[in-house]
Structure formats: C-alpha cells, structure tokens
Structure 1
Amino acid sequence: MTNDNMPLFLANSRFGWSKPARIEEFNKLQSINSKATTRIVFQGKNVDIPIIRIPIELPKYRMANGRTASLQAEHLAKHPNIRADMFSGDSELWDAQETQHNLLLQLAKQSDLQKYFEETCNIQVDPLLLDEKGFVVNGNRRLSVWRELLFQIPDKYSHFRYIDVAILPHSNEKEIDRLEATLQIEKDIKADYSWDAQANMMLAKQKRDGFSNKELAELYSMKESEVKELMDMLNYADEYLTSRNKKNLWSQVSDHEFAFKRMVASRPKISGVGSQEIFTQAAFTLIEKPEEAGGRLYDAIPAIVESLDIVKDKLQEEFQVSPIQTDHSVDDLFGEVCEEIDLPLALEIQKPENIDKARKIIVEVIESQKQLKKDAKSANYLLDCCARAQAQLSAAVQDGLRPESKLQGVSYQLDQIQIQVDKIRYFLSQHVKN
C-alpha cells in the first residue's frame, strides 16, 4: 500500500529508482552547493563536477558497458528463452538491471574486487560517474559489489547505504564512449578485459555509434592495424564457436587469444581459397583440444601452414573426398577460384564425426615434420660448427694480425684447434667413401 509521502521508486528496489524519481532527486541535490568536486576530461576540456551523496538504490547500470559485452552475448546464448533485447532494449526494466548486476558481480569476483570490499576498512574513495539520467558510466562493478554486500549483510556493510556520485553534463553516447575509453586507458585496458571482451566492446561501439577502426584506434591509443587484427581475431573466434554450435559462448575462447592472433597472421601466407579454408578448419580442430597439440597453439598453428600440402595429402588419404565440379568459365573470368578438392576436404574435416580423426592426422604431420627438422639440424651440426669455426678464424686473420694484438696464449689455442681438426679428419677418413 502506498501513500502520498512515499518516493516515486519502489521501497524494495535494489536496481535503480524510476526515471522521474532519479531526475527529481538529482535536481534537488544539485541545487545545494557542494564543496567537493571531481575533475575529468570530458567533451574536450577539463570539467569540475560536484560530488553528491545518494542512496545506493538510486542509480541504474549502463547496459552498454564494455566489460560485459562478451558476457551479455554469452548469457543470451545460454538462456534462449529470455527476451532477445534484454541488453539492447529498455534499460529501465528490472530483469535487465538484475541480469546486468549478476554479470558485473561475476567480473568483480574474477578481479578480486568483491574480496577487496568485503574488508570493512575498504570504503568508497572515488565517486561513481553517472549520466544525467542516472545510468552509471564509470563504477558499475563497484556498485554491484556494494549493493550485494549491503543486501547480504546490511548491518556489517551499512556504510554503503549512501554513495558518492558525480553527474556528467548533458552528452551523447559517442561522448560517453570517449570518456569510458579514456578512463579505461588510464587503468590499462588489458588488465581488466579479456581480448574477446575488448573486441566485442569495440564492435558494439562501431554498430551503435558508428566508430571507424581509425577512430577506435585513436580512442584506445592503439594502432589502426591493431584494431583490425583484433576484429579479425573476433571473426575467427565467432566462426569457430558457430562451427561447434557454441555461438557467443565467448568464455570458451578467452584463453586462446594467441591462437587466433596466429591465425590472423598466418592465413594471408596461404594462396587459394580452398587451402585457406583447410588451414582454418585444421586450426579449429587444434583449438578445440589444445592439449592434443602439445598445448602450444602459438607454435602449432603456424606449423600447419608450413606443412599444409602434407596435411592436405594425409587428410585426403584418410577421407577420400570427391572433387567438386567447377565452372571453368568462372575460372577464366576470375582466375582459379579454389583447388577442386580443397573445399570438399575442408567441409569433411569439420564434420563432428571426423574432427577427432582429422586432429590426430594434423598433429602427427606437425610432429613428424618437427622431427625431420631436428634430424636435419643434427645431420648438419658438424658442418655448421666447422663453418662457424672457419668464419671465426677468417675474422682473426683479417682483423687480428696486428702488431698491437695480444700474442700470449695464441699458440696454445692453435695447438688445441689442430688437435680437434685432426680428430675430425680422422673421423672423415673412416666414414667418407671415395
């Protein structure tokens, strides 16, 4: 039962007051002169923003939060029955706020932020930054932790009942994106973001606010080529997850940053669409079970490129796929589109029933080629050592035969060299056939 004196928000609300109530409270508090301010660079200038104190229930989480970009997509993938616009629709709704709260808590636990604030001596220091509508621009994770601690043990964490915030001037989403990026760079984005979360965050900014790769590079103090590489890695990861019926389950690729980085670097070295697709599918089989490739995908994936012809031959021996029928008139127009056997072979090795067998063949080829290289290196070891010794002696003759050179001990070293030379010559006389 409500009465006229009750605020415009629900008394038991944990995830934000209603919009009218938030605006009314801001207007009231901002009319009071505040001595405390926080300084930020916003909209191209230094801005001193008054700090106000509000109930912890008042603000709402910002759905366009970079840190949760991958988690949001994964949550939708794992819960297909919830509404598809959970994070892109009305941010005022309870279910969206509650879900975002739980995702933020997940991140807070991973970074030990929750553990930090569980110690009652660790209290709020910096104000949260809110936009003019009461959505948190900076400090979403902290807010989720404080709310959860207060909810679980209200007496112990009563110091979080009221929190300090600063309300940003009127702005658009692009300006908020720029502020968010600036604050992230100051704290080193790589320390807080998995590679896929960073890429998904940037992709979201492109789709939502029209940022180009160049603008994103400027925004995050990166090279444009680094942004492109990150987006290409994301495309490969998306293709991999989709091929395994795990679309948007980004946590399953978070540990494979260097594998996808190697794929991006390696694929341009391969000519032919079909060969590139075989490489892609071969790399995917290793990413699925890296332990079977020795656990070092950073080395194994380039090794596929080096031995790709042998990999293709061995796979074809096993799977015996038939060539596709090509339209040679198309070939005449555009050049050879792809090797006739490669695309069918690529399709064959990505079938669920063939993946394990294909992986075994690929790993065997990589290992056998690695051993051949070791053997070749061992076979050439004697010659290589002699060549290096000869080069050193040539340098000594060219640059060392000078009056000021130290001569003491040189004769002894030459005697030792001659002993080793005699041993090698004797070995050659026993093993070299005329």
Structure 2
Amino acid sequence: MAYSVKIEPAHVREVVIAELAANSNKTEPFYEYQSRAHDLPIVHAPIGIPIYRMANFRTRTAQQAYIRREGKPADYFSIGEENEAAQQRQHEFLLKFANEGRKGSITPIIDVLKGERQRQPILITRRGVVVNGNRRLAAMRSLYDEDSNLYREFSTVKCQVLPATATEKEIVEVEVRLQMKQRTELDYDWINECIAVRELRDSGLTMKELMALMNKKKIEIEDSINALTEADLYLAEWQSRPNDYEAIDDAKQLFFDIAENVKSKTGEGQEVSRRIAWLLADRRRTLKRRVYDFKPMFGKKSDEVAAKLAERFSVELDDSGSDDMEEDDDFSIDLGGETGPTFRPLISLLDDPTRRDEVAVELIDVCEDIIEIERDRRDGQMPLNLIQQANGKLAEVDMTRADAGSLNAIGKQLDAVQAHVEGLRGFLERQRSETQAITE
C-alpha cells in the first residue's frame, strides 16, 4: 500500500516546528542562505509534519504532464501546496525520482537510505515546506510505510530550519545554489533546468547574479533560455500540446541546435528553418542517422532543403516583390523590401497537418541526398587536403636543427616521400590524360 499524505494545518506545523527549534540544543552551519554562514537549528520532526514544496524545479515537467493528462487547472500545483491531493501527486513524482539512479555512478536515493539511513538533514522553512530534500522525504515516508519496525527511525525526520524571515525569492536561490552545484547526484533534467534559468531571469536577477547563482557562463544561460523558447514553440504551435515537456525529454541537443541555428535567420527563412527542424523532431526516433547529422538541414543548408522540397511538391515559390492584388502603376510604391522568391507557399504546405506525414518522408529523403552529396564532396577533396597538410609539414622542417645521428634516417624518410610523390604524380598524369581524352 502506497504512503498516503496527510497534511497538518499550516498553523499547527508552525507551532510544532517553532517549539522543536526553541528546544533544540544543536545547530549546524548553513552557507547557502544570503551568501553567508548561518547556524541553523537541527530538529527531529514527525514524518507527517513537513510538506513538499510545489515550486520545486525538479518536478516541474512531471507536474505539467499531469495537468495536461488529467485536465487539471494550470495552477493546480502552484496553489496546491496545502492540498492533500496535490501533495499526494507530488509525493508520487518525488518517489519515482528517488528510485532512479545512474548505472555505474549514482545509486538511487531510496537504496542509500535503506543502507545508511538518514545522514544529512533536509532543509525546511518555519512552515515545514521542504526546500531541499524532497526526494529523501518521499523515500523515507515510503520505507516507513513499507515496514515501520525495520525503518522505525524514519518516524521522525532530521531537519535544518531556515529563519522565519526567509523570503520566497531567497528560498528559490537556496534551492538553486544547492541543486546546481556539481555533485554526485542526479541533475535536473534539461527542461527543468531551462525553466529554472528562465524563471530566475524573469524574477529580476541581473545576468551577473544569475551567472553566479547557477555557476554558468552568460552564453550557457542564453542558450538555455533560447532552447526552452524553441521547445515551447514546437509543443504549442506544431504539436498543439503546450507544456507537454515529457514528450521531448530525449531531445535536449536537438532544441539547443534549433535555437543556435534559427537565431541568425529572420522572417520566412527563420520560419521555414524551424519547420524543417520540427519535422525532424517528429521523426527523431526513426531516423537512420544521428539527429546531429541533420543539423545543417535547418541551419546553413535550410534554403537549399526548402528549395528542393518545394520542387518535389511542385510548389512555386512566390516573388516577394509582387502581391495578390492587381498592380496599379498610379499607386505602386517601392518600399525597399526584400525581393526574390519567398517561402510562403512552402510554409503553408508544411503547416498543413493532413500532409505532414508525406512531407516528412520527402523531407528526410531530400536531407539524405544532401548529406550524401556533401560526404562525396568532402571525400573528393580529401586527397588535396592530405597533400596540402603533408606539404605544410615538410615546409616547416628546419634541417639545420637535425641531429647528426638522425641524418641517415632522415634520408630514408625523404627517399620514401619521394617515391610516394612519384607514384602520386604518375597517377595524376594518367588521370589528366583520361580526362582530356574524354573531353575531346
């Protein structure tokens, strides 16, 4: 039988925690609050007293998926911290994470607790909200519910209590400082980390503060925000499944690549590039190559891909200098806009959900053709590249620095080099003769 969450009223929790803190004779230093050391009281609270923090970044994706799947209001979790049903769902999310590990490197939290019991306190507010240690609490509750005799020490939970003056902004910063540090535990998944970055940016933190808080470079923060923006566009506009982040939890690199490539494009070029990427995202699990190999197809090769795809579907690319209305010489005005073909008709085709499958098949075929052509071109240039490299290396040789004892060996190497050169030159002359005969 699964653990059943029962919430004590907030005022009851506050009284219990205040009394425990007042009677505590032990403190431990805590360094992640207000960027300085604080001696915070250590208490042992009954296991039913703490409540899970709903704003926990680690569970954001799971929350969004549940809201969508069950048709719950968008704020079901954000306003549900005192709601037993919402807390029960949060418990289930956290318990799942507590059972996860990483083969060969990270043992699941629940297995650690089985063997070592609780070593470090969880961090709670004066109201009993868990700031750090939500997964550990879920695991301890599950184990105690499973066998209250074997795990009887989990009837109470060792907690470190933040000051009553801690603000929500400070609590968020504490969570991020603790979770974003490099340590031997499961990191946030990529979506939840990106959400954390964006929400902290939107909270008013400066870039400098954000970089220090998250231990990231400016470019890493910007890339995370841009990748999440592209993920939101894909889910909302293409899949009609806004916030269904679980659907793309395996596509981190793809959305970072999309963000990197489309930011240098504008207008219709950017839109067609996105749609090429979105179609590839749809088929990412069935592609015969790595998704990474398709990166140029929505990057520097996107215009070529678009043109070839339009040709296959007999889509005539419009001239951006003309309009649907009849031209009137008396009223025609040159606004100095872009001229030449545009991608409007192709974008319309790509946006037609009834044709998405057939378009995807042709798109992948077009991409495969371009990849093969590029590979053949690179292979064709390889002899020249290697000879240029060899020539460059020989040009760097300074014989005045050669050791006398190495001269004979150098001579043998030069003889071998000369033999290779003569062989290559002979092949070159034969190729030239054959080519000339064909052209004549």
Bin the TM-score by the shorter chain.
0.7 to 0.9
Counterpart Cα distance in 1 of 2:392 and 2:35? 61
Normalised to the residue count of structure 2, the TM-score between the two structures is: 0.84
Distance 2:229 2:275 in 1: 14
Alpha-carbon distance between aligned partners in 1 of 2:333 and 2:346, rounded to the nearest angstrom? 20
Instruction: Measure the CA separation in 2 of the matches of 1:360 and 1:128.
Output: 52
Task: Say whether 1:73 aligns with 2:54.
Answer: no
Asked if 1:37 is matched to 2:31, the reply is no
1:425–1:123 CA distance, 2 compared to 1 (3 A): closer
Q: Contact (CA 8 Å) 1:319, 1:348: kept in 2 or not? A: no
Which blocks of at least 5 consecutive residues in structure 2 are unaligned?
Answer: 102-106
Counterpart AA for 1:70:
T
Moved more, 148-157 or 16-25: 148-157
Shift of 1:133: 1.3
Q: How far 1:293 moved relative to its partner? A: 3.4
Q: What SS does the corresponding residue of 2:120 show, helix, strand or coil?
A: coil
- Name the CA distance, whole Å, in 1 between partners of 2:402 and 2:296: 52
Equivalence for 1:9:
none
Contact 1:38 1:166 in 2 (8 A): no
Which residue of structure 2 aligns with residue 88 of structure 1?
78
1:262 to 257, 260, 264: 257
Cα distance change, pair 93–412 in 1 and its aligned pair in 2 (3 A): closer
Q: Could you tell which deviates more after superposition, 62-71 or 414-423?
A: 414-423
How many correspondences in the alignment? 416
| Structure 1 segment 392-431 matched on structure 2, within 5 A | 392-396=393-397, 399-400=398-399, 406-431=406-431
The aligned residue for residue 27 of structure 1 is 18
Structure 2 distance, partners of 1:182, 1:99, is: 26
Query: What SS does structure 2 have at the residue aligned with 1:126?
Result: coil
Q: Give runs of aligned pairs for residues 2-401 of structure 1, distance below 5 A.
A: 14-80=5-71, 82-111=72-101, 113-117=108-112, 119=114, 121-169=115-163, 170-188=165-183, 191-206=186-201, 209-242=203-236, 243-270=238-265, 272-321=266-315, 323=318, 325=323, 335-336=337-338, 341-396=342-397, 399-400=398-399
Q: CA offsets, 1:174-194, max 9 Å, x none?
A: 111121122113354994211
- Is the contact between residue 314 and residue 361 of structure 1 (CA under 8 Å) also seen in structure 2? no
Residue type of the alignment partner of 1:99? R
Please state how far the C-alpha of 1:366 moved relative to its aligned partner: 2.8
Query: Does the aligned pair in 2 maintain the 1:107–1:141 contact within 8 Å?
Result: yes
Larger mean CA deviation between 422-431 and 68-77 belongs to 422-431
What CA RMSD, in Å, does the superposition of the two structures yield over aligned residues? Answer: 3.0
Amino acid in structure 2 at the alignment position of 1:246: R
1:341 shift after superposition? 3.7
Q: Secondary structure at the match of 2:346?
A: helix
Query: Alpha-carbon deviation of 1:331?
Result: 9.6
Contact 2:258/2:298 (<8 A) preserved = no
Deviation (angstroms), 1:428: 3.7
Q: What amino acid is the match of 2:281? A: I
The 1:331/1:369 distance shift into structure 2, 3 A limit, reads farther
Offset from partner CA, 1:338-377 (integer Å, 9 cap, x none): 9764133123224333333333333333332332233333
Shift of 1:103: 1.6
**Once structures 1 and 2 are overlaid, which stretch shifts more, 338-347 or 89-98?**
338-347
Secondary structure of 2:75's aligned partner: coil
Distance 1:30 1:345, change over 3 A: same
**Contact 1:304-1:366 within 8 A present in 2 as well:** no
Kindly indicate whether the alpha-carbon contact (under 8 Å) linking 2:27 and 2:41 is maintained by their aligned counterparts in 1. Answer: yes
* TM-score normalised by the chain length of structure 1: 0.85
CA contact (8 A) 2:44 2:157 kept: yes
| Aligned partner of residue 165 in structure 1, secondary structure | strand
What is the rounded CA distance, in whole Å, between the counterparts of 1:306 and 1:411 in structure 2?
47
Partner of 1:432: 432
Secondary structure in structure 2 of the residue aligned to 1:408: helix
- 2:432 and 2:7 mapped to 1: Cα distance? 87
- Which is worse superposed, 176-185 or 197-206? 197-206
Structure 1 residue 162: Cα displacement: 0.9
Given that 2:261 and 2:298 are in contact with CA atoms closer than 8 Å, whether structure 1 keeps it comes out as: no
Amino acid at match of 1:32: N
Residue type at the aligned position of 1:53 = H
Q: 1:333 to 1:79 in 2, by over 3 A?
A: farther
Measured at CA, do residues 127 and 358 of structure 1 come closer, stay the same or move farther in structure 2, by a change above 3 Å? same
* Aligned residues of 2:21 and 2:161 also touching (Cα < 8 A): no
* Contact 2:24 2:43 survives alignment (8 Å): no
Which stretch shows the higher mean deviation, 124-133 or 209-218? 209-218
Give secondary structure in 2 for the equivalent of 1:137: strand
Deviation at 1:286, TM superposition (A): 1.1
Change (3 A) 1:421 1:237: same
2: CA distance between counterparts of 1:257 and 1:21?
A: 43
Q: Distance in 1 between matches of 2:210 and 2:97?
A: 24
Q: CA deviation at 1:196?
A: 0.3
The code of the aligned residue for 2:181 comes to E
Q: Is the 8 A contact 2:24 2:42 kept in 1?
A: no
Aligned-partner Cα distance in 2 for 1:124–1:300: 47
2:110–2:139 CA contact under 8 A, matched in 1? no
Residue identity opposite 1:413 in structure 2: Q
Tell me, yes or no, if the aligned pair for 1:38 and 1:51 is still in contact at 8 Å: no
Q: CA deviation at 1:334?
A: 7.4
Q: Which amino acid aligns with 1:408?
A: N
Q: Is the 8 A contact 1:277 1:346 kept in 2?
A: yes
Unaligned runs of 5+ residues in structure 1 are: 1-11
